Amino acid sequence: MAQVVGFRNICEMLAENARLYPDDVALVELRPSKGFRKEISWQEFHRRSNRIANALVERGIKKGDKVVHWMMNSIEWLIVYFGIIKSGAWVVPLNFRFTARDFKYCVEISEAKMAVLGEEFVDRVQAARGELPTVRHYMVAGKDISGAEGMESLEGVIAQSSDDPVSIQLGSEDECGLYFTSGTTGQPKPILLTHGNMVCAAITEKAHHYQTREDNFVLLPPLYHTGAKMHWFGSLLVGGKATILTEINPRNIFEAVDRERGTIVWLLVPWVHDILVALDRGELKKEDYDLSCWRLMHIGAQPVPPKLVQRWKEYFPNMQYDTNYGLSEATGPGCVHLGIENERKVGAIGKAGYGWEVRIVDDKGRDVAPGEVGELIVKGGGVMKGYYKNPERTAETIKDRWLYTGDLARFDEEGFIYLVDRKKDVIITGGENIYPSEMEEIIHSHPKVYDVAVVGVPDERLGEIAVAVVQPKPGDTLSEAEILEFCEQNLARHLRPRRIVFDKVPRNPTGKIEKSKLREKLCSAIA
């Protein structure tokens, strides 16, 4: 760990790799359907992000300003990310599924002064621009926007800017990231992270998965998450390569590992399921690919069925496996992990991660005995600075430096942690957190809807799916097609229910939806 001690901020890791391994490949980007492959060296990665940082400073961005970052996965995504942080600004990465309404909300909360966009999001932004006076500059990647008022080409900006480092001092306590994650109130809630949080994530990941310069981390999940990107930080720490695969299916994953010699792949449960189904059906054959380089497959972002891992090991008996647990408030995954040496305990989420402490407590904050259920709380260098502009919520969540996760768990006799349930009503579909209240709010606005409740029910492939129980107004007739069409018009794709059920919504005497009863009823009906 001697190399790590001197890092005050996450940007210094990139600069160090550019100095030590200037010509080594840092990133590869693959778009299989277009036969597209692009790579970039550590030195070029560093210099291009410097150019973006200088361009931001030249346009008046100062330390502590916020810059929205809304792009699809690509090499350019990471270059822009580091360019924003190097300028001293806070990067505000947005979910690519967000709507114009979500964009407007996030900009208003963050008071962003600039937005860097992929071409896919220009139309959504244009719909909200007139109501966003704080945003002074827009840069667009991948599209000729000449003549578009108030917008600049990102590539043009990079070409005209200096690649010298920006002379801004950044320490471990300096804020650098504002991550919006959906909240139980129906609006995304902003989580404020520091450089120290980011450095902690890199150190933890390196300690868990033993990355070296010889590794090639295959990046699949969205980079706006504090998930795969923070796992990749372990490779960033040691100068290891990463391959960004932008089109995800079983064949593309196998081909990327084979052709690029990928060694580590972090998968979501649905992707593991898809690979196993393809192998079982003979649609995908191991012998058609050289996968001998693939040393580690790990899963996170949602509960992992033990049977799924057991089936994976039947096909890949010698491959290492790990389960990761985390949350955005803890700078992503790693505060708890199973450990590649503990495959016998698959089903548990593991023990405290490197540099982390864990407890399971009752409602009064007292430790519970092994086997008893309580709330999982964690403490470590990755605990967020807080919920931005929400000191009350922060005080409820962080107490004496302990982060209260809202997840119910228990210890077994060996000290391994098992998740039992969630205090929050979050639905995790394919690794994506969905909070029912936002869906309920929108569906409830339909003129024929009297009441609505959204709950998660088990799904073999996605882990859970959202089911909307809709109670029409008396005398009105309402079809599933009407509700689905309304959702398509008003909700981002990942927030739309997968099933519609027409029934009475049960509420208790205080008016709260009795979701546990509703969930039991739906699960019984499905069974």
What residues in the chain have per-residue pLDDT under 70? 1-5, 146-147, 182-187, 421-424, 508-512, 526-527
Q: Distances from the Cα of 205 to the Cαs of 190, 208, 320, 322, 431, in angstroms? A: 24, 5, 15, 12, 19
Backbone angles phi, psi at 135, to 5 degrees: -80, 115
443: tokens are 């569906």
Backbone angles phi, psi at 422, to 5 degrees: -120, 135
Cα distance between residue 71 and residue 115, in whole Å = 10
The reported pLDDT for the residue numbered 495 is: 85
Percent helix, strand and coil across the chain, each to the nearest 5: 35, 30, 35
The reported pLDDT for the residue numbered 507 is: 76
pLDDT digits (tens, 9 = 90+) for 116-161: 999 999 989 988 888 998 999 999 998 777 667 778 999 998 999 9
Cα distance between residue 423 and residue 170, in whole Å = 37
- Contacts with 501 (C-beta within 8 Å, 6 or more apart), sequence order: 467, 468, 469, 470, 522
154: tokens are 């990102």
Which of these, 78, 86, 64, lies nearest to 175 by C-alpha position? Answer: 64
Residue with tokens 């940007």: 11
The reported pLDDT for the residue numbered 523 is: 84
Cα distance between residue 335 and residue 332, in whole Å = 8
- Contacts with 320 (C-beta within 8 Å, 6 or more apart), sequence order: 295, 296, 297, 340
Go through the domains of the chain in sequence order and give each one's CATH number.
Answer: 9-195 (3.40.50.12780), 427-526 (3.30.300.30)
Contact 171, 8 (CB under 8 A): yes
pLDDT digits (tens, 9 = 90+) for 358-400: 999 999 999 999 999 899 999 999 999 999 999 999 999 999 9
Please spell the DSSP secondary structure of 1-62, one letter per residue: -TTTTT--STHHHHHHHHHHSTTSEEEEEEEGGGTEEEEEEHHHHHHHHHHHHHHHHHTT--
